[in-house]
Structure 1
Amino acid sequence: MAQLPITKIPVITEDSFDFAMLDFTLFTTACETSGIRNFGRFFMPSLYAIIFVTGLLGNVLVIVTFVFYTKKTMMDVYMMNLAIADMIFLCTLPFWAVDAYSEWIFGTPVCKIMNGVYTINFYSCMLTLVCVSVNRYNFIVQSTKMLRSKSKIFHTKLTCAGVWMLAIILALPEFILSEAYGDLPDKIICTMVYPPNSNNIIKLGVCVIQMVVGFLIPFVTMIICYTIIAKTLLQAKGFQKNKTLKIILAVVITFMICELPFNIVLLMQTLQIISEDNISCEYRVNMDYAIIITESIAYVHCCLNPILYVFLGVKFRNNFLKMLKDIRCISHKHLTQYLKTECETSQQKSGISDSTSLHPL
């Protein structure tokens, strides 16, 4: 999913570095940044617009379908929370697009809100993916121990509430330290301004938390849970097994492609903070380009979440067709015929149990 807003920040000169530390960026001298500014000015707003439109469409479909056409299960509650987190994150992109194209024109209060909300939904999305992975493990590997009752739904809602509360706590530095700051006479940016005597401790702490909570924990959890799930499915017999394994593989590979490059760049910068070595202008410029590109790739994750976690499921597909019938895009006859054909197909083939159907995956 999405990452903390770091590429929105141009280079600061030596005079301002003592009292305005940039988000995870290490600058000790002024470098020529016109190329970076021009690249970001056109690349970022264009990509943000594409992500905003496609992500909004997909997540709105998920939310509408789950609210009006789905009998709620534990997985549905998690999917709703994931879609809501993605939606709120997407609503911050127009602000960052304006910032990238010109400058931050919305003032400090809005800067604090946007940075804070942005970060809340980043953490809530990643922590929800952890919950989804564990839920799938319990549903498939520990299916005999799963009790399908209202109490389970209540515990799931309680878990989601805990996820949002933890995300709010982790986002407090953004709410407190974010400011609309003028780094140049004609350029105002929205960034985190660290205390002058913090000795990089706060910045390093924020960076480490982002990597651990925002990448390492979700990645390790997904690898462990989906490896055990895949092993369980390989021992099962059924026509959906291969398709389900492909979905699992797609989920893990997509997460790695979207999130791993940015976190590698973030790790390099964290190590630079720890070593406190001076770095050349060429290195800094290359790192800025790397941040812009890898961060943008990470944003694409919120567009792919609906496809990977919802759209491929039989349950969602059936409910989506019901919605199309209600808005008169398809006839009741065609819907009935499709559902009948699908039911007959499932009965003719030796399917695996409901616990390994596509919707839980």
Structure 2
Amino acid sequence: MDDFFPSAYMTTEMDDYVTQDPLDYSGDYDTGPTQATGMCDRSWVRQFRGWYEPPLFWTIFTLGAVGNLLVVWIYSTVRNRLKTMTDVYLLNLAVADLLFLCTLPFWASDAIKGWEFGRGLCKTVSAVYKINFFSSTFLLMCISVDRYIAIVQVTKAQNWKEKRLFYSKLACVAIWVISTLLAMPEFLFAQVKTGLNGTSFCVMVYWNNANNRTKILVLTLQICMGFILPLLVMVFCYSVIIRTLLRARNFEKHKALRVIFIVVFIFLASQLPYNSLLMVEASQAANATITDCAMVKSFDVAGQVAKSLAYTHACLNPFLYVFVGVRFRQDLFGLIKSCSRRMSKDEIPKISMVPIRPSVVTDTETTPALSL
């Protein structure tokens, strides 16, 4: 999609523009000054992308679609209405992941045979991808805040129950608006670029200004808003939750701690490598120091792997944040059991909501606690 360290190897069809961001494999060669040769052969990187990305993207798309559609189905048919803050956030998270997953087939096709869908769809798909990237991370952040309130501020959580539900819906509206604003660079700078081999690609093409200020600003905004801010909030909330649970005399304490560590670990494992490379790229845009062709190709490949790792979060979210909830699992198993009895299509499965052990993932009527 985009390109690491293009300042060392620029091919500009338009004098006023330069390419950016992670992964632009728009041509097999990029000309420019290098320490080794005057021309960097990057055809192998292009071939690697065509071999590596499509099967992985389709796998993420399939698994993520099944998991997130199940979430939407349960909330829309079994529960009928959103009762808690967590319900609101989880439903919006599933919708955001589904919209994000819808962009992966386009990028899979782009990796194999280039961009064949026109400039308008290039901008739209790029913007939709970035909107749902930001909204997903913001929603994960809100879920951690909601768990903090439910476990650490138990009395306030009970007293402000109705207000919390209203505020959660308001927060979701704000998240979608802010995410759309943060995706404006995709609307402005996404272009269809033709490489030296005649193949077209959908890439980010930034205005060529002093010291690549536009590129650095966009990358910095993505790193800070899409990774550092949610990470700091999640670390703070879960740290306080862990301290509270350690003091509590609760037989579910160890299960709760396990869920927290898994959630934070998966977020770091999927997002840290990609954002680390974005930091290096922003630094490179400010002061180009990497000019060796082999090094550039290595970072290109690393960017592909890190990007695809970040994408896996879309198919893991249902299992991390929804399916671990006792109530949701009960709803799902009841729905499967009802379907197995070949119920008529017009009959909505009725699942008895028997009392269960509370779970922070489901934010039940009583004091929540994480469970697996």
- Using the size of structure 2 for normalisation, the TM-score is 0.85
Q: 2:136: which partner in 1?
A: 125
Residue aligned with 1:356, SS: coil
Correspondent of 2:222 among 191, 210, 220: 210
Shift in Å, 1:354: 3.8
**Whole-Å separation in 1 of the counterparts to 2:169 and 2:5:** 37
Correspondent of 2:19 among 1, 22, 28: 22
Shift in Å, 1:269: 1.1
Shift in Å, 1:23: 2.6
Q: Which amino acid aligns with 2:199?
A: K
Q: Which amino acid aligns with 1:222?
A: M
Residue aligned with 1:226, SS: helix
Moved more, 100-109 or 230-239: 230-239
Query: Structure 1 residues 337 and 34, CA, compared in 2 at 3 Å: closer, same or farther?
Result: closer
**Whole-Å separation in 1 of the counterparts to 2:5 and 2:65:** 26
1:91-112 deviation per Cα after TM superposition (whole angstroms, max 9, x unaligned):
0000000000110000100001
Q: Which amino acid aligns with 1:196?
A: N
1:14-46 deviation per Cα after TM superposition (whole angstroms, max 9, x unaligned):
454854422326975541111111111011001
Conservation of the 8 A alpha-carbon contact between 2:211 and 2:285: no
Residue aligned with 2:207, SS: coil
Query: Structure 1 residues 198 and 178, CA, compared in 2 at 3 Å: closer, same or farther?
Result: farther
Query: Structure 1 residues 357 and 194, CA, compared in 2 at 3 Å: closer, same or farther?
Result: same
Query: Structure 1 residues 235 and 115, CA, compared in 2 at 3 Å: closer, same or farther?
Result: same
Answer yes or no: is 1:38 the counterpart of 2:47: yes
Shift in Å, 1:356: 3.1
Correspondent of 1:290 among 292, 297, 302: 302
Moved more, 179-188 or 306-315: 179-188
Q: 1:252: which partner in 2?
A: 264
1:290-345 deviation per Cα after TM superposition (whole angstroms, max 9, x unaligned):
000011111111111111101011010111123223323599xxx999987x85x9
Shift in Å, 1:127: 0.9
Conservation of the 8 A alpha-carbon contact between 2:4 and 2:21: no
Conservation of the 8 A alpha-carbon contact between 2:5 and 2:296: no
Residue aligned with 2:236, SS: helix
Shift in Å, 1:6: 2.8
**Whole-Å separation in 2 of the counterparts to 1:85 and 1:45:** 21
Conservation of the 8 A alpha-carbon contact between 1:16 and 1:183: no
Q: 1:243: which partner in 2?
A: 255
Answer yes or no: is 1:47 the counterpart of 2:47: no
**Whole-Å separation in 1 of the counterparts to 2:60 and 2:351:** 35
Shift in Å, 1:281: 0.7
Correspondent of 1:262 among 261, 270, 274: 274
Stretches of structure 1 that go unaligned for 5 or more consecutive residues are 347-352
Correspondent of 2:121 among 92, 102, 110: 110
Conservation of the 8 A alpha-carbon contact between 1:20 and 1:193: yes
Answer yes or no: is 1:84 the counterpart of 2:80: no
Shift in Å, 1:192: 1.6
**Whole-Å separation in 2 of the counterparts to 1:354 and 1:111:** 47
**Whole-Å separation in 1 of the counterparts to 2:113 and 2:264:** 37
Correspondent of 1:305 among 317, 324, 338: 317
**Whole-Å separation in 1 of the counterparts to 2:45 and 2:341:** 47
Moved more, 264-273 or 292-301: 264-273
Q: 1:279: which partner in 2?
A: 291
Shift in Å, 1:198: 5.6
Answer yes or no: is 1:175 the counterpart of 2:187: yes
Answer yes or no: is 1:68 the counterpart of 2:77: yes
**Whole-Å separation in 2 of the counterparts to 1:336 and 1:161:** 31
Shift in Å, 1:355: 2.3
Conservation of the 8 A alpha-carbon contact between 1:244 and 1:358: yes
**Whole-Å separation in 2 of the counterparts to 1:338 and 1:162:** 35
**Whole-Å separation in 2 of the counterparts to 1:329 and 1:188:** 52
Query: Structure 1 residues 9 and 326, CA, compared in 2 at 3 Å: closer, same or farther?
Result: farther
Conservation of the 8 A alpha-carbon contact between 2:245 and 2:253: yes
Q: 1:6: which partner in 2?
A: 2
Answer yes or no: is 1:154 the counterpart of 2:154: no
**Whole-Å separation in 2 of the counterparts to 1:129 and 1:194:** 30
Q: How many aligned positions are there?
A: 346
CA RMSD, 1 decimal: 2.9
Query: Structure 1 residues 273 and 7, CA, compared in 2 at 3 Å: closer, same or farther?
Result: closer
1:149-185 deviation per Cα after TM superposition (whole angstroms, max 9, x unaligned):
4332221111100000000001011012111111224
Conservation of the 8 A alpha-carbon contact between 2:54 and 2:112: yes
Query: Structure 1 residues 241 and 17, CA, compared in 2 at 3 Å: closer, same or farther?
Result: farther
Q: Which amino acid aligns with 2:134?
A: Y
Conservation of the 8 A alpha-carbon contact between 1:9 and 1:22: no
Conservation of the 8 A alpha-carbon contact between 1:200 and 1:273: yes
Query: Structure 1 residues 220 and 329, CA, compared in 2 at 3 Å: closer, same or farther?
Result: farther
**Whole-Å separation in 1 of the counterparts to 2:350 and 2:123:** 51
Answer yes or no: is 1:59 the counterpart of 2:68: yes
Conservation of the 8 A alpha-carbon contact between 1:194 and 1:203: yes
Answer yes or no: is 1:229 the counterpart of 2:229: no
Shift in Å, 1:12: 6.0
1:114-165 deviation per Cα after TM superposition (whole angstroms, max 9, x unaligned):
0011110001111111111111111110111113543322211111000000
Residue aligned with 2:206, SS: coil
